[in-house]
Amino acid sequence: MKLAVFLITGGSGCGKSTLANRLQDEYLKKDILTKVIHQDDYFLLPFLPYSERVDLSYESDQGIDFKKIKSDISINVNLLVNEASIACHDDFKKTDEIVLIVEGHMIGAAAEMLYDADTYIQKSKHVTSMNIITVIFDTDRETSKKRRLYRRQRSQKELDELEHYFDTAVWPGYLKYGRPALEALRNIPSMDKSSSNITVLELCASHSIESHLEKIETIRNTIV
């Protein structure tokens, strides 16, 4: 059974979650079993309103439970393998490929873990090959700010608070922590350290999601 892993990262508002969810929908339509892990579900810090955040803590990796992410990656891969095995046995949805998607703005802080094949298939004897496609969104300050502010309806008070937080924390945090995390994912380890094929795809946040999907599918069809 083949495992395709997508690592999707980039600055705030670049479209990480949108792309991850769309990929899942597209693969499920093709009867390819797929699961998504969202970094935002693993914050250790208590939620605080933007007006009460006093530093860059919420924009760094210090409040992310990467240990739990690693555990859930292994759990989800095993679940996918079991579901695919049952589907093939029942001749219901024959597939020899499963997909795991991990997305978040700071996942690059755990690049070593995410590029280690044992993170995914240490206990699985059914995965015969693994390909990692790392998707890195490039975004500029204005695009990031506009999308962060207006991706859902907000009151004027909320907009004012978020705009201030973006200017004083989100973008400075991206420059200080986010960009180095992206760079860590660009540094692909040698095959003897990763035991998997790794491809890095750079996308522009201002382009359409259809364009992103087309580029991703081209790469996936080439390496799978």
Residue 196, pLDDT score: 72
pTM attached to this predicted model: 0.92
Q: At what angle do helices 156-165 and 141-150 cross, to 10 degrees?
A: 150
Q: What is the CB neighbour count within 10 angstroms for residue 140?
A: 12
3-state SS string for the chain = CEEEEEEEECCCCCCHHHHHHHHHHHHHHCCCEEEEEEHHHHECCCCCCHHHCCCCHHHCCCCECHHHHHHHHHHHHHHHHHHHHHHHHCCCCCCCEEEEEEECCCHHHHHHHHCCCHHHHCCCCCCCEEEEEEEEEECCHHHHHHHHHHCCCCCHHHHHHHHHHHHHHHHHHHHHHHHHHHHHHHCCCCHHHHCCEEEEEEEECCCCHHHHHHHHHHHHHHHC
Q: Where are the domains of the chain?
A: 2-218
According to DSSP, the residues that pair with 103 across neighbouring strands are 8, 38
Residue 102, pLDDT score: 98
List, in order, residues 6 or more apart from 10 with CB less than 8 Å away: 16, 105, 135, 136, 137, 138, 139, 182, 203, 205
Residue 92, pLDDT score: 47
Residue with tokens 């009460």: 52
CATH of domain 2-218: 3.40.50
Residue 11, pLDDT score: 95
In tens digits, the chain (224 residues) has pLDDT values of 899 999 999 999 999 999 999 999 999 999 999 999 999 999 999 999 999 999 999 999 989 999 999 999 999 999 999 888 776 655 545 568 899 999 999 999 999 999 998 999 865 667 888 999 999 999 999 999 999 999 999 999 999 999 999 999 999 999 999 999 999 999 988 655 555 789 999 999 999 999 999 999 999 888 76
Residue 90, pLDDT score: 54
Q: In this structure, which amino acid lies at residue 215? A: K
